[in-house]
Structure 1
Amino acid sequence: MDLSASSVGRERLAGSPVLPSMLYVFCQVESICEFVDSRTTKLPEKDTEANKISYLIIDTVVLLVSSRKVDKMQSMQQELVRSALSLLFKVWKKVKLLRSSADCNNRKNQLQSREYEISKAIFNLSIDLASPACLEPDVVRKSIFGQAESNFENFVLAYWEKSPNLYRRKQITQNDDHVFAALNSAFNLGTAPDAIIESFIKGLVSCPAIASDELDINSFLHEVHDSLGDAIKYRQDIRVLRTEDPSDQTSMVCAREEHFFDDGIVFLDEDAFAEKCKHAFKNGYSIALRGMEFRSEKVAAIASALADLFGQPSVGANIYFSPPRSQGLARHYDDHCVLVWQLLGCKKWMIWPNPKPHLPRLYELFDPLDGTLDDNSGRVEVLHEGDMMYIPRGYVHEAHTDVGESQMNAYAGYSLHLTLAIEVEPPFEWEGFAHIALHCWVEKQKLGGSQFERPRAKEETLLFALVLHVAIRLLSSNDPIFRKACIVAAKLPSSSSCTRAHLKALRSSQRSTFDEIIRSMEKNCSFKEALKSIELAVQENNDEPFQWMSWLRRLPQEGDADLRIDFCNILEALEELVEAFSSNPEQALVGFTGFKSRFCRYVVYEDACESFETLLQMYRTTRNQYMKGMLALHGAHVS
């Protein structure tokens, strides 16, 4: 504890081997167990020696765990970590309970650890634990798309990012599907609405956003600092809303959403919050809870397996609980594909065709809906329990529980569904794959060296590569194929000859897409347009239009520093490019054309696949660490 008073001491603590021993002591001290298991909201009146030692051990464990970098946790025994996590979680809950008690001020003189320090310790300890609820991608594939090995291949080739599709489930198969059964039990679906609401409202903490390109969980923990484990926030974590009766809509204005709570409100009293949610539900409001993959181990296992199946960094999961004859979210479209899984009751969906050739991207501004969609042009489907609907990104849709008397079920019109959002981050679109392919090819040229015999050949190659990166980005605004998801890293089984045939078909389709992209690049990537956009940015001293390149810093660059592009300070490289090419643009055009031609002719698809999968694994590691940390804060490891 004395060591922690200085930065040098904290650094020594971070690498100290004493932590496993302290965790063992922490789990064995009887007075700590008595402290967390007692029902009183007050601390003992007398500071006995045992109590003082208990508080000191708790503070020391929290300090050691919080000071230790997460990559140093991997060597500790899993069972010891699980036992410590379970007890530490109970300590955290007890401290939160004591926060509002009369003894709050007195506690400061006894237990020094603050709530956020304990929550950080819980997060740190959990992120490298093996998940007991882990599912193989093949299990989720069969549950969603059916037992036949060709079903997923058919889905990818016929529907993925192209068209909605409904998967009907027979009642008899639901009981045999343990994935669906696990979801059923996770949300207490066999009970009354109030009990269902309590099953997913109680014990929630806020899930702060993690940057899309964050690959260092320690950096994330530094950013959130003292907010980890905070109470949930409205809109960030949960929405309670309803949409006005569709019959009240005019032909030019879309129905608007009405929210039960104000934006940004924080719910400190979860009992009072649960009661308000129940009241809102009875008055026609739907409850939409985000980030279920961070709150439920069973949902997390499904989301993680689905991300592996599609070869993407993560899959988000939200639940929507709607009362009878109501509409929650207003008519809208999403910037990600969704699989809607109906868990309870029925819900009627209307989906309109996507009139635009380009798929919407993550983080792009949404185009407003003018309310002029023809209701007769939409596809109507009623989802029953166990059914699943796939909706591609960009397809406008709405859903409500007014399904008609003939469709009513035993739950009197209540509906609960889970959405699994397959979010395609920029590096994992086909545009991203093209950037990776270009990067790999340039790095290979550096190792070759023979083409660099001419003076300044090395520098010109890097500058031509930078122009081509920009040209690829500009081309993606006109060619829809660049925005589609690249799933070369999809995890499919290859145990049987039949499966290998389907796997080969999917891989062949991915290779065909890459070949098409290369042809488009050779024909349409414009040096003049790319140079013009670069010159404008340099002239205005504005690198904002090129911030999309920041993720490229994650790709390894070989050679001396002068043979690397600093994607974190891209304006400096752009200035050098303008200085090199603006004086003689025609000569630069000839050089660029030759560079582009050589790349398109000699690029190696397999090299790009390998780098793509390496980058994906980096993203997946951080997302999984975040997921495990948040699950621990929701009590996932409490025995």
Structure 2
Amino acid sequence: MGNPDGARKKKRRKRSGGEAAASFDRDVFPILLAAVAPATGPNQRASSAATAARLLRRLLPRSPPPPPLSPLPGPLVALLPLLLTSSSHSVAALSCEVMGAAALQSMEAGEALASDGGIASGLARALGSGSQRVAEAACNAVMDLSASSIGREHLSGSPVLPRLLYLFSQVESISGAVGGGSTGCQARVSEPSKCLNLIIDTVVLMVNSCKVDKLHNLQQELVRKVMHLLYEVWSKVRLLQSSADCSNGKDQLQSRPYEISEAIFRLSMDLAYPAHLEPDEVRKSFFGQTESDFEKFALMYWENSPYLYRKKQSGLEGDAVFTALHNAFDLRTPDAIIESFIQDLVSCPAIASDELNINSFLDEVHDSLGAAVKYRQDVRVVRTPDQTSTGSGIEEHFFDDGTVFPDATAFVEKCKGAIRNGFSIALRGMEFRSEKVAAIASALADLFGQPSVGANIYFSPPRSQGLARHYDDHCVLVWQLLGRKKWKIWPNTKSILPRLYEPFHSLDGLVDDRGGRVEVLREGDIMYVPRGHVHEACTDIDEGESEVNASANYSLHLTLAIEVELPFEWEGFTHIALHCWLEEQKLVGSSGSVESRMEEQAPLFALLLHVAIRLLSDKDPTLRKTCMVAAKLPSSSKSVRSSHRSIFDEILDNIDRNCGFEDALRSVELAVKERNDEPFQWMCWLRHLPQQQQQHGRSSRIGFCDVLGPLEELLDMFSSDRERASADFADFKSRFCRRAMYDDACSEFEALLVLYRAGRTRYAKGMLALHGKHGG
């Protein structure tokens, strides 16, 4: 006969979840509640804490028996905010461990705990308790609760993140922090180092999980201190990467280098940087002290012909902008110059021209952010030693395409050797690598009313030519910083300016070697080269000329590229004007009439007119020129502002006369027939303009990044009576050209520029931070 007592014991061990929860409510909850209630004396507090700690340990998973309570009962969850802030370090730490265990056992339980505001606040207080044991347990709990994207999102937007940053900011030295991978070589990791590594891992995870707009609310001085510390950690991890790779233990730093670099990038994006210049300061340095100097340049030379502003050598010291830039480089020797702009570089991956959401960029490059520089993408080391029969030399490159330089020291030494062999160094993206250059580029972008200005630095040895003869698809301002360089520039023989990213044409027939304008730039001189103008440059030092400075026979110059993107050409302004006028028609349209029918078809007529305007830009030079209606011009530049209105009026007149229905419709028919909307991808930027959601009860939005559907609808609408459609289109076009409001378009143009500038500025700040420039 069996043992009845044993059977009862087995049954008790197999109690249902409901019975276990009831037992918790009856036996455990009162004791835990007493542990967090105010006590009358130290002995009572100690006794209650010890009992509570024993009970919490019983809730933790043990092997082989499973945890007795899963998920955590509601009463325990309700007590957790108090338990986490208990004055007993054991109670607080064990509460963190219980939560972590529950989260690891059930993702749903972890998400529920992470979304509880009281628990998040309790975790934040636990992080700041002052106890290493509690802080470590709280960090582990944060990591466990962040196993899912939902958990990470909730915690990163809670008080946990600022408390974590504060906890990390109190670290006096990161000498105990070690990089993942190679750090497993150490025999053991000290307890303080283990805790520091855990804090760093948790900070990186939370920062990279936080929405960008939430990071903006963090206290700036706190962010700066954390960035400095993270940069030290990142530098150490990158250095350790070059050593032998060893096993990565659980107590080592788990964050990958690209995860740390992303955290640095994210924290930097909304910091205020002290290196700031007003557009007027840069205008005076580049074009002359009087306001009329820039007005003359804008009306006579811009996108028309080269311009040289020769500085007086005696006045260079009084030019604060030039002096600041000049002092940014160590000009004592050629080797020192190279080290001053090549040292500690990281790659600057391109951001799509119409990408305004920095989160999309980070998603795209998250595993390569902060990588070593890449040849051609970031740097070129090139020379043009010989002239061909046509007068245009063939470039020789010191490195192969796509070469990556993980060993920074070796890269610098190779560049020094290349210079001694007649090669020039061209480094792009200086506005992402130098605060002083970034300030100049930003002020120039404001002055010309453009989203951004790129900056490259060129260093050439004596009697050499770097880049071969070429033309650019952007306008360039060349600033000679050291030595001198001889330039030869040929007139642009084509009336249509080259557009960004369009294929380059052969130079055959574009230049006559016997012609061309020759200028020698000396230190401080600035020369403007419009897009489309063929040019070449070489160092030009006469034999027998003596120089005191060992570097003076070398040339160092900065180029500032004003890249005019499609939305900010006059064509783009015209598309914006059409969009604004169409939105106004939607607001005033009335239902039920013939006029209403026309208004319902207006979005498709507008789509076709967008296509026709694009086709017209291949013939009308004005549409490809820069629209500067948002430029921060001097107050006296009335003639420049007046010219903007005149240009717009001329464009509207040209559209009314020359935008054809048939040409536009044929291009639409071809795209629909071939199921190919690639020729219309230029429209994507129009998605950034606001559109009305509904028109007469139906959607009137156009998806400018996926236009095949609307194009098919357009063809269907016109197929029944093409002659009538052509007449209706002509009427629509004529009404737009008569009624388009310049001021409305200006407002929307400026709003779009603000969006573009915000995205580019965040990118620039992130890249500056990865080059050790932390904004303070």
TM range (shorter): over 0.9
| Residue equivalent to 1:234 | 375
| Residue equivalent to 2:718 | 581
Shift of 1:36: 8.3
Shift of 1:70: 1.4
Inter-partner Cα distance in structure 1 for 2:729 and 2:545: 63
Q: How does 1:340-355 map to 2 (within 5 A)?
A: 340-355=478-493
Does 2:705 correspond to 1:563?
A: no
Moved more, 409-418 or 16-25: 409-418
1:48-93 residue CA offsets vs partner (Å, 9 max, x unmatched): 2211111111111111111111111111111111111111100100
| Residue equivalent to 2:92 | none
| Residue equivalent to 2:636 | 501
| Residue equivalent to 2:733 | 596
1:462-500 residue CA offsets vs partner (Å, 9 max, x unmatched): 11111111110111111100000000000124xxxxxx3
Letter in 2 for 1:133: A
Shift of 1:382: 0.0
Does 2:308 correspond to 1:166?
A: yes
| Residue equivalent to 1:416 | 556
Q: How does 1:616-631 map to 2 (within 5 A)?
A: 616-631=753-768
Moved more, 561-570 or 549-558: 561-570
Contact 2:374–2:403, Cα closer than 8 Å, also in 1: yes
| Residue equivalent to 1:446 | 586
SS at match of 1:487: coil
SS at match of 1:343: strand
Among 115, 132, 137, the residue aligned to 2:274: 132
Contact 2:462–2:541, Cα closer than 8 Å, also in 1: no
Aligned length: 626
Does 2:516 correspond to 1:381?
A: no
1:308-366 residue CA offsets vs partner (Å, 9 max, x unmatched): 11000110000000000000000000000000000000000000000000000001000
Shift of 1:372: 6.9
Letter in 2 for 1:117: E
Moved more, 396-405 or 50-59: 396-405
Cα gap change, 1:166 to 1:539, in 2 (>3 Å): same
Inter-partner Cα distance in structure 2 for 1:592 and 1:638: 54
| Residue equivalent to 2:71 | none
Alignment gaps of 5+ in structure 2: 1-142
Shift of 1:4: 1.9
Letter in 2 for 1:580: M
SS at match of 1:546: helix
Inter-partner Cα distance in structure 2 for 1:197 and 1:556: 48
Cα gap change, 1:528 to 1:509, in 2 (>3 Å): same
Inter-partner Cα distance in structure 2 for 1:406 and 1:518: 60
Among 202, 206, 219, the residue aligned to 1:64: 206
Contact 1:42–1:102, Cα closer than 8 Å, also in 2: no
Does 2:162 correspond to 1:12?
A: no
Among 330, 335, 343, the residue aligned to 1:202: 343
Shift of 1:538: 1.1
Larger Rg: 2
| Residue equivalent to 1:496 | none
| Residue equivalent to 1:93 | 235
Does 2:188 correspond to 1:54?
A: no
Shift of 1:582: 2.2
Contact 1:550–1:567, Cα closer than 8 Å, also in 2: yes
Inter-partner Cα distance in structure 1 for 2:288 and 2:760: 28
Larger RCO, structure (CA 8 Å, separation 6 or more): 1
TM-score of the pair, normalised by structure 1 = 0.95
Q: How does 1:401-480 map to 2 (within 5 A)?
A: 401-405=539-543, 409=547, 410=549, 411-450=551-590, 453-454=593-594, 456-480=597-621
Does 2:392 correspond to 1:250?
A: no
Moved more, 259-268 or 63-72: 63-72
Contact 1:334–1:393, Cα closer than 8 Å, also in 2: yes
Shift of 1:30: 3.5
Shift of 1:533: 1.2
Cα gap change, 1:452 to 1:165, in 2 (>3 Å): farther
Contact 1:31–1:50, Cα closer than 8 Å, also in 2: no
Letter in 2 for 1:634: H
Among 322, 329, 332, the residue aligned to 1:187: 329
Does 2:745 correspond to 1:608?
A: yes
Does 2:528 correspond to 1:390?
A: yes
Letter in 1 for 2:708: L
Cα gap change, 1:357 to 1:57, in 2 (>3 Å): same
SS at match of 1:558: coil
Moved more, 621-630 or 98-107: 98-107
Inter-partner Cα distance in structure 2 for 1:363 and 1:32: 45
SS at match of 2:611: helix
Contact 2:184–2:252, Cα closer than 8 Å, also in 1: no
Contact 1:315–1:422, Cα closer than 8 Å, also in 2: yes
Contact 1:123–1:629, Cα closer than 8 Å, also in 2: yes
Inter-partner Cα distance in structure 1 for 2:173 and 2:320: 41
Inter-partner Cα distance in structure 2 for 1:36 and 1:633: 19
Alignment gaps of 5+ in structure 1: 494-499
Does 2:646 correspond to 1:512?
A: yes
Letter in 2 for 1:181: T
Inter-partner Cα distance in structure 2 for 1:198 and 1:122: 24
Letter in 1 for 2:413: E
Letter in 2 for 1:216: N
Inter-partner Cα distance in structure 2 for 1:150 and 1:438: 33
Shift of 1:105: 2.7
1:188-210 residue CA offsets vs partner (Å, 9 max, x unmatched): 12x10001101111110000010
Identity over the aligned pairs, expressed in percent? 67
Shift of 1:151: 1.0
Inter-partner Cα distance in structure 2 for 1:609 and 1:26: 47
SS at match of 2:656: helix
Inter-partner Cα distance in structure 1 for 2:598 and 2:714: 14
Cα gap change, 1:390 to 1:107, in 2 (>3 Å): farther
Letter in 2 for 1:386: G
Shift of 1:99: 1.9
